[in-house]
Amino acid sequence: MYNSLTRIQNVFGFFTTVAFVVSAIIAASDFTAPRTPSASIKPTNVQVVKGRPHYYSSKKEEYAIIKFSLDADMSSLFTWNTKQLFVYVTAEWPSTPSGDGTNQTNKAVIWDSIITSPSSDHLANLGPATLKKLRKSAAGKSIDPSRGKLSLKNQRPKYQITHPSGKVANTEDVTLHVHYNVQPWVGMLTWNQDVDFALWKRMARGISNAFALPTVSAKKK
């Protein structure tokens, strides 16, 4: 503290300590916010088509196109420390005993979405007009839990799925699962839980009834 330089060093050094401690407390404050997400999902239209992994491939594979309806309430996941929420839907089915047997379950993402918090709208990968609309929807709000309410009707999947064997038709016991991933400003990433943890409850429902993939449809992909 003798001259200006040592004072700069001292103040900056203690500032980094304060910044670290405050960040740690912010991260810990997440545990004070209850998480009670719920979701219901059901497949609405399932078809399997033949296709090629890319244009010049001679290999023909079967692709499942699973349309679905999703109603989800993720609003409790939006707190002041939430930067964005990643919501994704997977199709899962057990591996057949006659198959290679190395995969206990097969799991593939068919749809996903990034939901930004108003504090991170500037990071959203959107065009200027859509971004303006998004900003307007949360004008004056620092958090907007209503963005966590999803309602999709007969949604087309983003990704058509297949299997390493190239065969997915007639698969039994396929279920759709809703997952989420909370990405905070400071702290750890958290995914949907299988068990309750203090104020954080596991997702209510979020798994569809089992269904079977149909045989390959004649419709060309």
Partner 1 sequence: MADQLLEQVRDVVDGQIDFQGQKLAEILATVLLSVVGAISFLVGFFLQDIALALKIGLGGTALTFLAIVPPWPFFNQHPVKWLPVGGSSISSSHQNIVIDEKMLVAR
Return residues touching partner 1 (CB under 8 A). 1-4, 7-8, 10-11, 14-15, 18-19, 21-22, 25-26, 29, 79-81, 119, 142-143, 185
Least separation in angstroms between residue 143's CB and partner 1 is 5
Least separation in angstroms between residue 182's CB and partner 1 is 14
- To which H or E segment does residue 22 belong? helix 4-29
Q: Strands of 149-155's sheet, edge to edge?
A: 149-155, 61-73, 38-51, 204-205
φ, ψ at 26 (rounded to 5°)? -60, -45
Least separation in angstroms between residue 46's CB and partner 1 is 42
- 207 in Cβ contact with 176 (< 8 Å): yes
Residue 76 one-letter amino acid: S
Using the minimum distance from each CB to partner 1, give the nearer residue, 74 or 89: 74
Using the minimum distance from each CB to partner 1, give the nearer residue, 106 or 119: 119
Least separation in angstroms between residue 15's CB and partner 1 is 5
Least separation in angstroms between residue 16's CB and partner 1 is 10
Q: Please name which of 86, 27, 77, 26 lies closest in space to residue 200, comparing C-alpha atoms.
A: 77
- Tell me the residue length of the chain: 221
Using the minimum distance from each CB to partner 1, give the nearer residue, 29 or 76: 29
Pairing state between β 204-205 and 38-51: parallel
What is d(CA 40, CA 154) in angstroms, rounded to the nearest whole number?
A: 13
Using the minimum distance from each CB to partner 1, give the nearer residue, 105 or 142: 142
- State the first-to-last Cα distance of the chain, in angstroms, to the nearest integer: 74
Using the minimum distance from each CB to partner 1, give the nearer residue, 10 or 45: 10
Least separation in angstroms between residue 165's CB and partner 1 is 47
- Helix (H, G, I), strand (E, B), or coil: what is residue 42? strand
Using the minimum distance from each CB to partner 1, give the nearer residue, 21 or 204: 21
